[in-house]
A and B are shown apart, each in its own frame.
Chain A
């Protein structure tokens, strides 16, 4: 997959968001918003035209998306539940992409961590309570996700190998390994379906205020805001961004490239692992062989649409969750394959590239 964007776009909003005059700040945020929102609007319009061509009623489709993904209480809760793993995956990418590291191994890290958590959870649950169980599972999930990026990380940091290739390959290996683990080692003997034991509902993540939404959502939001803070306000985050913007300058300024590269891989992949923990411990409670929701790839365009900005990522992930949950229903109603939602996301990405191009052209026109 080619994403027509630089992994480390210039974004001086990150550097001095407070110190500038309110006026120019307003102007800048308006541009930023329009650059991010326009592609979405354009995608919805073109998607609507596509629906028309297919003989479907676009207004009905979109209103179904909204009514089932957002307005209906059940759908809204589903959307919020779906947000949790997506947010954690997005947080991982928000570390890697600005640093110029294309960690596309999210799905392998996610699934492998999910399998380990699903295997470990039901074993531990009878002997502990949530205060111990959840932290342990989260740490384990982080460690498994991170571990799955060690080899690509080393190959990048020491040998300079392209991480797009290595993390993608690691994804396929991870998926195969996960299936193997489920079938051979972690299979629940009490059922013929190749799957892990089921984590009892009472041992899953606590829910918020009597809704079906679990605290995974809170964890996801905290992760996003934490990463946002780290990237914009801390020395570590600035180092990562400099590595992304100009690796030669990072070396010249005395940064430890190998250590930085490794920590990017580990943090980014660890967060992907945690995303799986949220999904398993919060929602599914079980992993079947060949399980792969492919959240890791789906999230990539959203992180770009949001330009690595934490609050914007939350907004886009929320909108996407609504689209995904409501879209499932709307597609079924319109007798379309579920992939239509993916088409919409692809259109957004396409228009993002266009608006990015138009913006950079207008910027260039203003330069000497």
Chain B
């Protein structure tokens, strides 16, 4: 590497940003070289998003400096950032699904009165070449597969000029293949001299894709791993080192396999079957059923993993169990009681719980307090309401207990739940579903978007609850997680169960075959 390449393209110097009650960025310095993939790693709430928002002009820092090519620069708006060549792909899509890819690109970038389609096509071609991907510019964004949609997002971010690309947790929705091809795209961009900032909390990705890793913790920069430091070590050592940085020394080498032992299997055999689905079918808009003849039997205290690539009926299965979605035919039994006609609220009372994967959308009401959200499924019930009158004191007390038990980081229980980070919000959602006699809990991607530590906390909680007799259905796309937490794993493909395997390490390949329909 020559000197020019080592000179930073963009530097953030002593960036400080405080919000009421928390210093999100405490004098963080971060430099970005040309031609590198720089990983920004940290727990939820560590300050990654804030730092990136400052770089992309969404926020202005309280103190500190941004230096671009050695010159101090002012980035006061997203437009400034784009003008400086800093493009960002956010976690939430900025593309309009009903428009074509090309239309989306011209949206907001076309600064003249007339739409310049010819120029846009040319630019589109350049960028698909640069990324080495193929996207039909005339396809509607809504029709693209997730991986392609993300490539389109990257093209949008690089549209006005290609210098710095910021990717904010881009892999959470991708299949393993999608992640690999994203990795290739990043590498290619780096080879062409761009700087890529890649935000993640997945260690494997950080190590696989990164040239350099900066670790944040509680608003501070706690470490930076240079390329030279990274090559010499084994992957496991590197992981331990990073975990130590992210969480402090003690948590490295945490128990990777909290469940899955022989005792549990023997104990399970003696447990009664308490939850059954029989030949459940629901219809979609198209000719194919969304769920097709699903039959499952779960024992008390069992954790049944549901594996499958996203969109093969897992979410619908969860909604059928919770009662949010009517079924065409089939039965759902709790013990020997048919419950498929019961409302969500009745099932809730009986102990059927659903930890949704959509905690922002349907799981919580952002404007309402943590306290109200913690009882949102029990509105009108004692002891929180008496003769339909709300009792704030009781609800607040309940929420405080939950905050303490789940180790939620928040100033108090009265702040709007939208102010919590994803992990803390998830802890409240999980705590809410586990309150007051859970019998069967459906966890839909419970660790999605969480940092490693919270992930482990949530998984441990699922396993721990199961040991106490709560049956769990764990829907996930992460095989490691399924194998470590489940007793058995069922695989869904195109609305059907293509196989059920006892969970043990080493079955990934088998699961993968079932997931892709190869062995169905």
Contact = CB atoms under 8 A, between A and B. Distances in A.
B367 A248 contact: no
B363 A366 contact: no
A335 interface: no
Given A245-B365, A254-B345, A20 B379 contact: no
Closest CB pairs A-B (n = 10): A254-B344, A235-B380, A254-B345, A10-B367, A248-B362, A252-B362, A253-B377, A246-B365, A234-B388, A253-B376
Interface string B354-380: 101010011111111101100011011
10 contacts: A15-B369, A19-B414, A235-B380, A236-B388, A242-B379, A254-B323, A254-B344, A254-B347, A256-B345, A368-B19
A16 B363 contact: no
A366 B19 contact: yes
A10 B419 CA distance: 13
A152 B388 CA distance: 28
B16 interface: no
Contacts of B366: 245-246
B392 A18 contact: yes
B390 interface: yes
Contact of B361 (A20, A248, A255): A248
Nearest to A252: B362
Contacts of B414: 12, 15-16, 19-20
A233 B19 CA distance: 31
B59 interface: yes
A248 B347 CA distance: 18
A173 interface: no
B171 interface: no
A239 B369 CA distance: 14
Interface of A: 10-12, 15-16, 18-20, 233-236, 238-239, 242, 245-246, 248-249, 251-256, 366-368
Interface of B: 19-20, 24, 49-50, 53, 59, 322-324, 343-345, 347-348, 354, 356, 358, 361-369, 371-372, 376-377, 379-380, 385, 388-390, 392-393, 396, 414, 416, 419
A19 B399 CA distance: 14
Given A245-B366, A249-B364, A252-B362, 12 more contacts: A15-B368, A19-B392, A235-B380, A235-B390, A249-B365, A249-B376, A252-B324, A252-B363, A254-B323, A256-B343, A366-B19, A368-B50
Nearest to A248: B362
Contacts of A15: 368-369, 372, 392, 414
Given A253-B377, A253-B379, A256-B343, A235 B385 contact: yes
A253 B433 CA distance: 11
Contacts of A256: 343, 345
A238 B390 contact: yes
Given A19-B414, A234-B389, A239-B379, A253 B59 contact: no
Contacts of A238: 372, 379, 390
A234 B390 contact: yes
Nearest to B22: A368
A235 B367 contact: no
A249 B343 CA distance: 15
A27 to B, nearest CB: 13
A16 B369 contact: yes
A235 B388 contact: yes
Given A12-B416, A15-B369, A252-B324, A368 B363 contact: no
Task: Determine which residue in B49, B392, B393 has the highest number of CB atoms from chain A within 10 A of its CB, and name it.
Answer: B392
Contacts of B364: 246, 249
Contacts of A236: 380, 388
Contacts of B345: 254-256
A11 B365 CA distance: 12
Contact of A368 (B24, B323, B354, B379): B24
B316 to A, nearest CB: 14
A366 B489 CA distance: 45
Contacts of A18: 392
Nearest to B344: A254
A95 B211 CA distance: 57
Contacts of B347: 254
B19 A254 contact: no
A254 B20 contact: no
A48 B205 CA distance: 65
Contacts of B390: 233-235, 238
B166 to A, nearest CB: 16
Contacts of A12: 367-369, 414, 416
Contacts of A245: 365-368
A317 B371 CA distance: 34
A309 B19 CA distance: 29
Task: Determine which residue in B322, B388, B416 has the highest number of CB atoms from chain A within 10 A of its CB, and name it.
Answer: B388
A242 B368 contact: yes
B318 to A, nearest CB: 11
A88 B414 CA distance: 33
A234 B324 CA distance: 25
A149 to B, nearest CB: 24
Given A235-B385, A238-B379, A254 B50 contact: no
B324 A251 contact: yes
A233 B387 CA distance: 11
A255 B362 CA distance: 12
B389 A233 contact: yes
B439 to A, nearest CB: 16
A246 B505 CA distance: 41
B27 to A, nearest CB: 17
Contacts of B356: 252
Contacts of B322: 252
Contacts of A366: 19-20
Contacts of B343: 254, 256
Contacts of B372: 15, 238
Contacts of B20: 366
Nearest to B376: A253
Nearest to B432: A253
A240 to B, nearest CB: 11
Contacts of A20: 414
Contacts of A10: 367, 416
Contact of A254 (B348, B369, B371): B348
A19 B379 CA distance: 19
B344 to A, nearest CB: 3
A246 B53 contact: no
B19 A251 contact: no
B257 to A, nearest CB: 32
Contacts of A235: 379-380, 385, 388, 390
A230 to B, nearest CB: 9
A251 B380 CA distance: 16
A99 to B, nearest CB: 13
B362 A246 contact: yes
Given A19-B414, A20-B414, A368 B59 contact: yes
A160 to B, nearest CB: 15
A253 B489 CA distance: 28
B471 to A, nearest CB: 20
B362 A249 contact: yes
Nearest to B415: A12
Contacts of A19: 392-393, 396, 414
Contacts of A367: 19, 419
Nearest to B377: A253
Given A235-B388, A245-B367, A249-B365, A368 B380 contact: no
